[in-house]
Amino acid sequence: MEVIGELKKRIVAPSARIVFPEGNDEKIIQSACRVVQEAIGRPILLGNEKRISDLAANMQMDLKGIEVIDPLSCQKLNQYMDAYCKERECSEGAARLILSKPVYFGAMMVKVGDADTMVAGIITETEEVIMAGELMVGIKEGLSTPSSFFLMEIPGYEGEEGNTLIFADAGFNPDPTAEQLADIALTTAESARVLLGWEPRVAMLSFSTKGSAEHESVDKVIDALHIVLEREPDLCIDGEMQGDAAIVPEVARKKIQGGGPVGGRANILIFPDLNSANISYKLVQRLTKGRAYGPFLQGFAKQITDLSRGASVDDIVGVTIMSVVASAGVNAG
């Protein structure tokens, strides 16, 4: 957890309010306790207060420093409903139905500033976490596509950022268009700057390297690259290229004339679709015994963070640290 340890050092005071909509889950309760103990932030658990209290007692966990809110009886429910009705022009009944669901209530807390970030997904499907983000928080100005990435810690890999790479989009967009792929590349590059302090070197991946094969899926990657360069000409990005050409300098020199600006040195890998990205991150994680933090959502006006449903307590705490650091950058912007 070297990269997470470095991120944790950037949290100078545990002031960030982190809402966990799945407060009835044992792993979430354990993680919230760790967040307090390790001075990461101020956790807010959503759910039935008695049930959460009983679960914590059974696990011999101390809820000191953790706020517990039941969305159904919260005094701010009516305020949130009014705000939602005005923005969405919907009925009070519809607003109540939506906001009675903890993941939407939590996203509204972030929207109005009652929480700095939301971490969800141990029970809730990614699609619903993203829907809550879109409905309540909205998409960041200038973007049309929310997306996700995994921060990969890979034992045995030695790149310019140590053993760390970013894989995107491995959690949400099944078959992005060229325009969506461009959004994913640009947003991930910005996430790398804000979250990790990296200077992005973005590889647009394909089964082809610089015209070695022809196919409509290759054309999509090339078109996406052109869109990115039109929108951010100074971004260090190149493609299309195969995975080995992206991260192995010797291969890059053989396959790309002069190696290119990114070849062999990429720290961000943009996959052409969800199939390739999701399969790749899971294989790398399992075969190398590495860590995969995410899917880390990006592209929202405020920080909304997803979890893998198989996440361990360590994974949840790691993603929470990422979320706290990222929310400071997003909210400042």
pLDDT band at 136 (very low <50, low <70, confident <90, very high): very high
Tokens matching residue 229: 């360069």
Interatomic CA distance for residues 270 and 243, integer angstroms: 10
Interatomic CA distance for residues 57 and 51, integer angstroms: 10
| Tally: H helices and E strands in the chain | 13, 11
pTM of the model: 0.88
- 47, 88, 89, 166 from 100: Cα distances, Å: 10, 16, 18, 35
- 41, 147, 168, 222, 299 from 181: Cα distances, Å: 33, 9, 10, 10, 13
Q: What pLDDT shows up at residue 274?
A: 96
Hey, which CATH number is domain 147-288, 1.10.630.10, 3.40.50.2300, 3.10.20.30, 3.40.50.10750? 3.40.50.10750
Residue that wins the pLDDT comparison between 1 and 295 = 295
What single letter denotes the amino acid at residue 183? D
Q: What pLDDT shows up at residue 257?
A: 87
* Range in 86-90, 94-98, 194-198 the model is least confident about: 86-90
Q: Which positions ≥6 away from 269 have C-beta within 8 Å?
A: 165, 166, 167, 168, 203, 205, 243, 246, 247
Q: Kindly report the number of other CB atoms within 10 A of residue 50's CB atom.
A: 10
Average pLDDT over the chain, rounded to an integer: 93
Look up the CATH architecture of domain 2-138+300-332: 3-Layer(aba) Sandwich (3.40)
Sign, CA torsion 99/104/109/115: positive
* Range in 52-61, 137-146, 154-163, 324-333 the model is least confident about: 324-333
- 116, 187, 229 from 301: Cα distances, Å: 12, 12, 23
Q: Nearest-CA neighbor of 102 among 129, 135, 138?
A: 129
Phi and psi based region of residue 221 (left: phi greater than 0; alpha: psi -120 to 50; beta: remaining): alpha
Cis peptide before 114 (omega within 30 of 0): no
Residue 331 has pLDDT above 70, yes or no: no
Q: What pLDDT shows up at residue 1?
A: 57
Number of residues that this document lists for the chain: 333
Q: What pLDDT shows up at residue 333?
A: 47
Q: Which positions ≥6 away from 127 have C-beta within 8 Å?
A: 172
Per-residue pLDDT averaged across 189-205, rounded? 95
Interatomic CA distance for residues 44 and 69, integer angstroms: 7
Tokens matching residue 313: 């307590």
pLDDT band at 332 (very low <50, low <70, confident <90, very high): very low
Interatomic CA distance for residues 47 and 277, integer angstroms: 34
Interatomic CA distance for residues 225 and 234, integer angstroms: 13
pLDDT band at 330 (very low <50, low <70, confident <90, very high): low
Per-residue pLDDT averaged across 147-169, rounded? 94
Express each pLDDT in 246-276 by its tens digit.
999 999 999 998 878 999 999 999 999 999 9
Express each pLDDT in 28-78 by its tens digit.
999 999 999 999 999 999 999 999 999 999 999 999 999 999 998 998 999
Per-residue pLDDT averaged across 240-244, rounded? 96
What single letter denotes the amino acid at residue 262? V
Express each pLDDT in 174-187 by its tens digit.
999 999 999 999 99
Domain ranges of the chain: 2-138+300-332, 147-288
Tokens matching residue 88: 């969405």
Q: Nearest-CA neighbor of 115 among 177, 47, 44?
A: 44
Q: Nearest-CA neighbor of 166 among 142, 195, 139?
A: 195
Fold match flag (2-138+300-332 vs 147-288): yes
